[in-house]
Amino acid sequence: MNDMTPTREQRTAALEGMGCKRKRVEDIRFTQGKGNYVDDVKLPGMLHGDFVRSPHAHARVKAIKADEALKVPGVLAVITAETLKTVNLAWMPTLAGDVQMVLADGKVLFQNQEVAFVVATDRYAADDGINKVEVEYEPLPPLIDPFKAMDHNAPVLREDLADKTTGAHGPRKHHNHIFEWTVGDKDLTDAAFRKAEVTIKEMISYHRTHPSPLETCQCVCSFDKVKGELTIWGTFQAPHVIRTVVSLIAKLPEQKIHVIAPDIGGGFGNKVGAYPGYICAAVASIVTGKPVKWVEDRIENLTATSFARDYHMTTEVAATKEGKVTGLRVHVLADHGAFDACADPSKWPAGFFNIVTGSYDFPTAHLVVDGVYTNKAPGGVAYRCSFRVTEAAYCIERAMDILAQKLGMDPAELRLKNFIKPEQFPYHSALGWEYDSGDYHTAMRKMMETTDYAALRKEQASRRAAFKRGETREIMGLGVSFFTEIVGAGPSKNCDILGIAMFDSCEIRMHPTGAGIARMGTKSQGQGHETTWAQIIATEIGIPADNIQVEEGNTDTAPYGLGTYGSRSTPVAGAAIAMAARKIKAKAQMIAAYKLEVHEDDLEFDIDGFRVKGLPEKFMSMKDICWAAYNSVPPGMEPGLEAVSYYDPPNMTYPFGAYLCVMDIDVDTGVYKVRRFYALDDCGTRINPMIIEGQVHGGLTEAFAIAMGQEIRYDDTGNVVTGSFMDFFMPTAVETPHWETDFTVTPSPHHPIGAKGVGESPNVGGVPAFSNAVNDAFSFLGSTHIQMPHDFWRNWKAAKNLGAVA
């Protein structure tokens, strides 16, 4: 070899494969304002639709008068439930097995519910039309408090279900009851509590909030009457599912529906479901024969599409005096709003909340979730988490701190004592999951060493003493959180959406010159798939990532996939990519063997091509193999080099992490300062460390927002009082803390490349870290649990209630 021959390191680096901090290909267009988001789609003759919405939380709709609206210049149509009934679309199915009004049918059930859809030549005219639609309401008593939903005299919200004693998930106990979901062994758990030396019980609430991506939900629907084809551009995290849903409910042949998800401005779970706006825009386009655009404004987004959380978790832990946990009992009251539109896999009415045993070796546990209707917006989406996993992680992580406090133990020590041990994996949890891999002790100890946890506890002790002596008005809290996530939904044996198994897919097509295109069933909303998916292919087949174009979001060209949410893209689609790439590689090996005139077993893959074992100079690059695939394949072999993989995962993946928040709170003002935040994540194999770090920063910022102030709050009559960015806490660069990130690597044993998914871990682990910090700060004053969100006012109130403020 001469000096010009690239080294192995240079050849590997040239691929920009897995493990490389590859710069994002998406950024070239995004930094120049050349992205193509839904509202950027403009079609000739396009109309705009917008909603008349209910001012009431609960009211009968007596009449809708559209005459004056139709006189407004530019207004072409006013669609109501009566219009939709003519095409059997006044109601639509939800992902949770319920039905939901598309437009108010006789009644409204939450404030800002969609009542009528005004179609006009532009968005200003549509707004003028809305102002002229007269709706006569007869107010009804609103039901806002979920704890009163099943009172005997509670108002009947869902008259359509009034005489139904069974719902999609079994028996209903009350006219406002949706389902009861139970998991675990009740008798064994009750026995554990009877025998327990120590128990704790606390009602831990996770308040209602909202994903609020910076781009709201929107669509453009265009119906071609001649071809009978409907094209929909939309903010869809799962475009294929939308196509199938539209086909089923609009009775259009699926091949005549073209769903395109262009660039998406953040999703965080908000853009999984199907909303009335999509249905109304599609109907309006079919009726008018013109393209119709619907763009939600921010107030509509916060108040009508897809809240998250609203779980009220009565949590009990049984333990020995030494702090070994012996049982967990949780009852959840789940407020689902007016329609059960939770975006969970069909068989999971409370998502994967049964991950609530967390990272700990509970011998037994029992869980009951009761879902109820209230006069609030529907939703219950997985806001930057796998389904209900952040609620579960918050529940158990608060409970462990409360138990530590009762035992007089350090919360980190209590966790170390109860962790599932490395040799116990694969671990079967008391509530039915098989954890794939983990090394919790190593992660926790790394966190404690890096942050000098022991020194921080010493500092806290001396500052508490100083506070008691009256030398300071500031209290210090350490928030420990150790979460285990469950992501990658999911195996067809237990995960489906409307009957479609939750596999995912990849098609790779290599071109003669050593380039290629990969098409996916997933859809990036900022995760950087165009960059990272190419990195997986680069490492697998030895073609530079720069030569691989990744395309997502067009249901005509992409193989069927279930989309991007619940950190499922890397665990499921990432595996499909590797499997498709390996099919390419297998065929490439046969071609190389033919060209090098050896048996294929005599070849070994070497970074970017195949080499004859023991004869290093006999080598054929993947680039040359691509060319050969189109002109000189072995006799009997089909030409070309492409592959498709549909990957049905054998199990979920279980990312985990150890977080620490150090916080100081001024008791006289309630003002807090996050002094330090350390996040160690183990997401298995790391595809692009730069993107992982960026996702952790973003998820932590959302966790910070949720824990410290972000809330969808209703007053007693059902008015949303946090319906704009004025009132709904969105941290700016000023409030947002500095983030420290770290990692360990415990690959998933069942995933082809060992990757587990990371995007949602920081939200799941971050919320309890912040809340535990606040609670830890106040604990020495005698409190055991203070509910989120921990804004300044509530902190001050907590200090006052505890007697720390006069």
Partner 1 sequence: MAKTHVTMKVDGAEVEGLVEPRTLLVHFIRENLQLTGTHVGCETTHCGACTVDLDGMSVKSCTVFAVQADGSEITTIEGMANPDGSLSALQEGFRMMHGLQCGFCTPGMIMRAHRLLQENPSPTEQDIRMGMSGNLCRCTGYQNIIRAIQYAAAKLNNVEFKEAAE
# residues near partner 1 by CB under 8 A = 59
Token look-up 């800002």 returns 112
Report yes or no: 622 and 608 within 8 Å, Cβ to Cβ. yes
- DSSP output for 165-212: -EETTEE-SSTTEEEEEEEE-HHHHHHHHHH-SEEEEEEEEEEEE---
Binding segment for partner 1 (CB under 8 A), chosen from 207-215, 434-442, 490-498, 577-585, is 207-215
Report yes or no: 577 and 503 within 8 Å, Cβ to Cβ. no
| 724 lies in the site for partner 1, by CB under 8 A | yes
Choice from 691, 774, 777, 788 touching partner 1 (CB under 8 A): 691
Nearer to partner 1, 42 or 599 (CB): 42
| 244 lies in the site for partner 1, by CB under 8 A | no
| 121 lies in the site for partner 1, by CB under 8 A | no
| 34 lies in the site for partner 1, by CB under 8 A | yes
Report the distance separating Cα 459 and Cα 774, nearest Å. 16
Report the distance separating Cα 307 and Cα 565, nearest Å. 15
User: Quick one: tokens of 167?
Assistant: 């719902």
| 452 lies in the site for partner 1, by CB under 8 A | no
Q: Minimal distance in Å, beta carbon 697 to partner 1?
A: 3
Catalytic residue list contains 384: yes
Report the distance separating Cα 323 and Cα 330, nearest Å. 19
- Of 99, 95, 107, 164, which Cα lies nearest the Cα of 137? 107
88 class by beta-carbon count within 10 Å (0-12 exposed, 13-18 middle, 19+ buried):
exposed
Report the distance separating Cα 292 and Cα 232, nearest Å. 10
Q: Minimal distance in Å, beta carbon 33 to partner 1?
A: 2
- Of 182, 486, 168, 101, which Cα lies nearest the Cα of 346? 168
Catalytic residue list contains 221: no
| 7 lies in the site for partner 1, by CB under 8 A | no
Window 252-271: residues binding partner 1 (CB under 8 A) = 263-266, 268
Choice from 1, 226, 455, 726 touching partner 1 (CB under 8 A): 726
Region of 423 please: left (phi>0), alpha (psi -120 to 50) or beta.
alpha
| 710 lies in the site for partner 1, by CB under 8 A | no
User: Quick one: tokens of 732?
Assistant: 């700016």
Choice from 6, 13, 30, 194 touching partner 1 (CB under 8 A): 30
SS3 137: strand
Q: Which of 237, 527, 589, 695 is catalytic?
A: 237
Binding segment for partner 1 (CB under 8 A), chosen from 110-118, 153-161, 431-439, 519-527, is 519-527
Choice from 160, 202, 224, 297 touching partner 1 (CB under 8 A): 297
Nearer to partner 1, 463 or 676 (CB): 676
Strands 434-435 and 427-428 turn out to be antiparallel
Nearer to partner 1, 55 or 74 (CB): 74
Q: Minimal distance in Å, beta carbon 45 to partner 1?
A: 14
Alpha-carbon distance values, 218 to 26, 77, 186, 632 (Å): 21, 19, 45, 49
Q: Which of 384, 398, 611, 686 is catalytic?
A: 384
Window 525-544: residues binding partner 1 (CB under 8 A) = 525-528
Nearer to partner 1, 695 or 772 (CB): 695
**What is the per-residue binding string for partner 1 in 732-761, x denoting contact by CB under 8 A?**
xxx-x-xxxx--------------------
In sequence order, what are the beta bridge partners of 619? 611
Report the distance separating Cα 527 and Cα 267, nearest Å. 10
Q: Minimal distance in Å, beta carbon 214 to partner 1?
A: 5
Nearer to partner 1, 327 or 526 (CB): 526
Nearer to partner 1, 726 or 806 (CB): 726
Catalytic residue list contains 385: yes
Residue 322 one-letter amino acid: E
Q: Is the four-CA dihedral 304, 763, 204, 331 of positive or negative sign?
A: positive
Report how far apart the first and last C-alpha atoms of the chain are (Å, whole number). Answer: 82
Q: Minimal distance in Å, beta carbon 652 to partner 1?
A: 25
Q: Minimal distance in Å, beta carbon 678 to partner 1?
A: 10
Report yes or no: 233 and 6 within 8 Å, Cβ to Cβ. no
Report the distance separating Cα 625 and Cα 595, nearest Å. 9
Report the distance separating Cα 41 and Cα 289, nearest Å. 17
| 105 lies in the site for partner 1, by CB under 8 A | no
Q: Which of 20, 219, 280, 385 is catalytic?
A: 385
| CA 99 to chain CA mean position, Å | 22
Catalytic residue list contains 9: no
Choice from 1, 4, 63, 214 touching partner 1 (CB under 8 A): 214
Report yes or no: 288 and 42 within 8 Å, Cβ to Cβ. no
Binding segment for partner 1 (CB under 8 A), chosen from 83-91, 106-114, 136-144, 697-705, is 697-705
| 546 lies in the site for partner 1, by CB under 8 A | no
Choice from 186, 417, 697, 797 touching partner 1 (CB under 8 A): 697
Give the binding site for partner 1 (CB under 8 A).
Answer: 23-24, 26-37, 39-40, 42, 122-124, 212-216, 263-266, 268, 297-298, 525-528, 690-691, 693-695, 697-702, 724-726, 730, 732-734, 736, 738-741
Residues forming the active site? 237, 384-385, 760
